[in-house]
């Protein structure tokens, strides 16, 4: 019996030693590089019509400048592959195919591919402070797709500030597995409520579950028409991270969207589901 007790105590001590203490700041160094690979699957229904989209992308992040308060990180979209299916139409694109590079979609994507965009983040939160946009950007076939417009408005797009800030997650000082915390963002047309749950901490990394509720109103263009849209999005994300540095290793998100859009004086229901998996190396 005593041997079992000592074995249990030893196991608990070992787990405690290997579980890293969460850092109060993100820890990076100048020249550090992070490769972000993201896959997204979307299924939506609008006006009784089903549509699907699948995409993969790769971004290269490089720390260009490090100060006591922030980091300036260059984000470069290096690869994109996607396919979209909707009644009566389908679109596909692969940035590594020469034939696709010469298509109309490819010409539009050339404004985004391999173009560095610097994003500055606060090292105590990981939030983007500013994200200058490249000049000369023009609309391409993906921007004109109604599904893409919908998810861009919901914040599920691959803009550089989202890609960069998504690579980091800090755990508040003093929090331990089983604890939770919350925050919110309120803007003119957007309300976001986030609830975090510190699930576990081990030598393999810390696991944080994030539940987000987004209430959004706004307009989007579809086939040359401007439409007002109201949506409610509920997401659940499992975030595996290095607590000592604040770097995310993997983030898996399930999102469910419900809402309506005003079209020719009528209210049309909208529903969509999205699965996103991002891996950081």
Does 5 map to a domain?
Answer: no
Torsion of CA 89, 92, 103, 225, to 10 degrees: 40
DSSP 32: -
DSSP structure string for 188-252: SSEEEEEEEEEEEEETTEEEEEEEEEEEEEEEEEETTEEEEEEEEEEEEEEEEEETTTTEEEEEE
Give me the pLDDT at residue 45, please. 84
DSSP 179: -
Range(s) of the domain holding residue 35: 21-280
User: Within 10 Å of residue 174's Cβ, how many Cβ atoms?
Assistant: 7
Is 126 in a helix, a strand, or coil?
coil
Do the beta carbons of residue 197 and residue 187 sit within 8 Å?
no
CATH number of the domain where residue 134 is located: 2.30.230
The label of the residue with tokens 């992070």 reads 34
* Among 60, 120, 48, CA closest to 86: 48
Give me the pLDDT at residue 21, please. 65
DSSP 23: P
Is 264 in a helix, a strand, or coil?
coil
DSSP 145: S
Does 273 map to a domain?
Answer: yes
DSSP bridge pairs for 38: 57, 278
Q: How many residues in total does the chain contain? A: 281
Give me the pLDDT at residue 24, please. 81
- pTM over 0.75, yes/no: yes
Do the beta carbons of residue 195 and residue 208 sit within 8 Å?
no
Give me the pLDDT at residue 112, please. 87
Distance CA 280, CA 168 (A): 10
* Among 24, 1, 278, 70, CA closest to 175: 24
Does 80 map to a domain?
Answer: yes
Does 8 map to a domain?
Answer: no
Averages of pLDDT over each 10 residues, the chain, 281 residues: 39 41 85 95 83 92 95 94 86 89 84 92 88 46 44 54 92 94 89 96 93 86 72 94 95 92 80 93 94
* Among 254, 228, 257, 277, CA closest to 154: 257
Q: Name residues whose C-beta falls within 8 Å of residue 65's C-beta, 6 or more positions apart in sequence.
A: 30, 71, 72
Do the beta carbons of residue 171 and residue 243 sit within 8 Å?
yes
Does 1 map to a domain?
Answer: no
Give me the pLDDT at residue 158, please. 58
* Beta pairing, strands 49-66 & 33-46: antiparallel
Give me the pLDDT at residue 46, please. 77
* Beta pairing, strands 89-94 & 128-130: unpaired
Structural domain tally of the chain?
1
DSSP bridge pairs for 207: 200, 240
Does 183 map to a domain?
Answer: yes
* Among 257, 215, 274, 212, CA closest to 239: 212
Does 7 map to a domain?
Answer: no
Does 132 map to a domain?
Answer: yes
Do the beta carbons of residue 175 and residue 198 sit within 8 Å?
yes
């Amino acid at each position: 019996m005593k041997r079992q007790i000592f074995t249990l105590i030893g196991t608990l001590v070992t787990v405690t030693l290997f579980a890293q203490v969460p850092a109060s700041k993100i820890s990076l160094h100048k020249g550090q590089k992070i490769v972000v690979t993201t896959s997204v699957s979307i299924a939506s229904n609008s006006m009784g019509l089903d549509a699907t989209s699948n995409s993969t992308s790769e971004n290269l992040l490089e720390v260009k400048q490090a100060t006591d308060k922030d980091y300036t990180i260059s984000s470069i979209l290096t690869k994109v592959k996607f396919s979209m299916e909707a009644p009566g139409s389908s679109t596909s694109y692969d940035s590594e195919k020469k034939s696709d590079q010469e298509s109309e979609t490819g010409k539009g994507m050339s404004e985004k591919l391999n173009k560095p965009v610097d994003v500055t983040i606060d090292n105590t939160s990981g939030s983007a402070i500013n994200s200058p946009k490249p000049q000369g950007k023009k609309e391409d076939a993906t921007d004109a797709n109604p599904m893409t417009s919908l998810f861009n408005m919901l914040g599920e797009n691959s803009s550089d500030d989202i890609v960069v800030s998504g690579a980091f997650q800090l755990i508040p000082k003093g929090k331990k597995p089983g604890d939770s915390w919350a925050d919110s963002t309120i803007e003119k047309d957007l309300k976001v409520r986030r609830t975090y749950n510190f699930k576990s901490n081990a030598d393999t990394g810390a696991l944080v579950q994030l539940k987000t509720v987004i209430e959004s109103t706004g307009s989007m263009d579809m086939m040359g028409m401007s439409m007002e849209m109201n949506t409610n999005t509920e997401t659940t994300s499992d975030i595996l991270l290095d607590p000592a540095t604040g770097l995310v290793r993997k983030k898996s998100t399930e999102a469910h969207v419900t809402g309506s859009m005003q079209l020719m004086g009528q209210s049309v229901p909208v529903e969509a589901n999205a699965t996103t998996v991002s891996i950081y190396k």
